Amino acid sequence: MTSPDQPTGPYLKSPHAGSNSHRPRASDQPPGLTDRPPGAPARTSRCWQRILVTAVVGLIGAGAVACALVHRDKNEAIRHCQAAISKKLRAPSTAEFTDTTVSRGDSGFGTHYYDVAGTVDAQNGFGAMVRGEYTCELTQRPDGQWLVTSTRVL
């Protein structure tokens, strides 16, 4: 006997009927996508997405490393130039370098050329602070050695 509240016949629901409701059915798939099992991810598009993301991250990382190396090399060029200029001054310990600019060029064979310019304030022979402009030309060889090829204080 059944009560009037309980459904009978083909409309009777089993207690587990809703447990697989999270899986898409083939009939729910858009046309043309039924060649893979229902619920299976599109592997080829995800594969290409991963390859693309990996490539972009790799390029960004390589660019960041290259920028850091160029920045480090420019700082080294400034340091070598200012050391060479200090040797030309009467009172090198009083030198204050400002307005420094650096330009860089490449030979194509691993040698880099740098032009450094700026102003320097230092004491002269009488103890008075004087301002001068300086320029340096430097070369960084492929083995990392630095050569100061010219210096000038005006």
pLDDT number for residue 72: 83
pLDDT number for residue 84: 96
Task: Indicate the fold that domain 43-153 takes in CATH.
Answer: Nuclear Transport Factor 2; Chain: A, (3.10.450)
Neighbours of 120 (CB within 10 A): 23
CA 123 to the chain's CA centroid: 42
Pairwise CA distance, residues 147 & 124, whole Å: 27
- Nearest-5° Cα angle at 105, 100 to 110: 125
- Model pTM greater than 0.85? no
pLDDT number for residue 1: 52
50-81 pLDDT, tens digit per residue, is 777 777 666 666 555 555 556 688 999 999 99
Q: Where are the domains of the chain?
A: 43-153
pLDDT number for residue 32: 54
pLDDT number for residue 46: 72
Q: Show the low-confidence residues of the chain (pLDDT under 70).
A: 1-45, 56-71
Neighbours of 151 (CB within 10 A): 16
Alpha helices by DSSP H, the chain: 43-86
Pairwise CA distance, residues 53 & 10, whole Å: 51
